[in-house]
Structure 1
Amino acid sequence: MSIKHGLLALLREEPKYGYQLRGEFEEATGAIWPLNIGQVYTTLTRLERDGLVRAAAEPVADDGRSRYEITDAGRAELAVWFETPVTRESRPRDELAIKLALALAAPGVDVSAVVQRQRAATMQSLQELTRLKRGDREGEISWLLVLESMIFAAEAEIRWLDHCEAMLLRHRGRPAKPPEQYAEPAADPAEANR
């Protein structure tokens, strides 16, 4: 997730304070990805350094807070972000896939138990997300889009865990390849004598 681009999107219409940006970000995403106010101000500092935002013409409120506004360069950056599809390579590493791969490589780990615990946790999360969807926020399309994305991701994770479990069952009982199968083949003695 790009906090940088999220803040630029929220600044697109009018200058805002950091706390205002945090509140609007959380409102738009249903507070599913809460932002630390320190993240907001650190990101605003970087955006200002990179020329993507600047202090607003009337920057300071009575309580000393500064407002930020998007620059032309920031608008161009935001336009490119909206026009560029998110690629699988640009997403964060999948911790669950890495965890299962390493569990298979680590002696003594019950991989089936790891899969079962994850399935139970993901199913519980899916149930909570489904309950949220039935809430009274049906008119808030941005929140619903985020929520449904998380529901689809949880459903996909459960299907993938089912697939992992089926693969484990198919491969259970098969002998592991002996280490010598991974070594370079020995030179043919007849070739060595030539």
Structure 2
Amino acid sequence: MSIRHGLLALLDQGPRYGYQLRTEFEARTGATWPLNVGQVYTTLARLERDGLVVPAGEDDEGHQFYAVTDAGRAELHAWFDSPVPRTNPPRDELAIKLAMAVTVPGVDVPAVVQSQRRHSIKALQDYTRLKGRALAGEGRPTATGGTAATDDGTGADLAWLLVLEQLIFQTEAEVRWLDHCETRLAQRAEIEQARAAENRQNDPAPAPAPRRIGRRRTTA
């Protein structure tokens, strides 16, 4: 997630101060990736350091406004014009967890997969329910747990719907991948069973213990 470019996109519409940027960022994403004011001001400080924004005065309440510079606008347009690179994909905790699980003795990997599938399906149901509400014009969620007004003329409703559909597609793909993982695990178990059976057949049976032959004792 590029907070940096998200803030530049908002500032391209006019000067804003930190809390406004936080509120508008969350409005466009349905609070999917909530920000705190500290993150916003830390990012603004870096943008100012890089010459992409400049202070633009204060209001009567002492709020510091920031405005985008020409260099900042150029970077924003370059971001919009360029595809998101896949050369360095973000770390995926689930993929890392399963990669570790299959290499650590004693981990019940099928149970890990099943637990994640239940969670992912529940999330998919929640996202689908939210999409239905969004399409029905019931508004979008806010960071405080409320619902924002719809059709406010900013395009935030469409932005939220696009984010929500991305989450749905991503979760559907995750469930399919978990199904694939389960198939892989079953195939590996079959291969290991077949190897074990083959090893048992190839191992020579232990030779029987030799019988002890001796004279039979006779009694007088």
Amino acid at match of 1:76: A
What CA deviation, in whole Å up to 9, does each residue of 1:66-112 have, x standing for no partner?
00000000001101111111122343111111110100010000010
Amino acid at match of 1:84: S
Q: Measure the CA separation in 2 of the matches of 1:85 and 1:6.
A: 15
Other structure's SS at 1:134 match = helix
Q: Measure the CA separation in 2 of the matches of 1:130 and 1:91.
A: 26
Amino acid at match of 1:9: A
Q: Measure the CA separation in 1 of the matches of 2:33 and 2:89.
A: 16
Question: CA 1:175/1:94 → structure 2, altered by over 3 Å: closer, same or farther?
Answer: same
Q: Measure the CA separation in 1 of the matches of 2:7 and 2:71.
A: 14
Other structure's SS at 1:91 match = coil
**Unpaired runs of 5+ in structure 2?**
140-149, 152-156, 196-220
Selected match of 1:119 from 93, 117, 122: 117
- RMSD, aligned CA: 1.5
**Unpaired runs of 5+ in structure 1?**
178-194
What is the correspondence of 1:59-138 to structure 2 with a 5 Å cutoff?
59-135=57-133, 136-137=138-139
Tell me by how many angstroms 1:170 deviates. 0.7
- TM superposition outliers: structure 1 runs of 4+ over 6 Å: none
Amino acid at match of 2:78: V
What CA deviation, in whole Å up to 9, does each residue of 1:139-167 have, x standing for no partner?
61100000000000000000000000011
Amino acid at match of 1:93: R
**Number of aligned positions between the proteins:** 175
Other structure's SS at 1:174 match = helix
> Looking at CA atoms only, which structure, 1 or 2, has the larger radius of gyration?
2
Tell me by how many angstroms 1:63 deviates. 1.5
TM-score (structure 1 length as normaliser) = 0.87
Identity %: 61
Q: Measure the CA separation in 2 of the matches of 1:113 and 1:89.
A: 32
TM-score (structure 2 length as normaliser) = 0.77
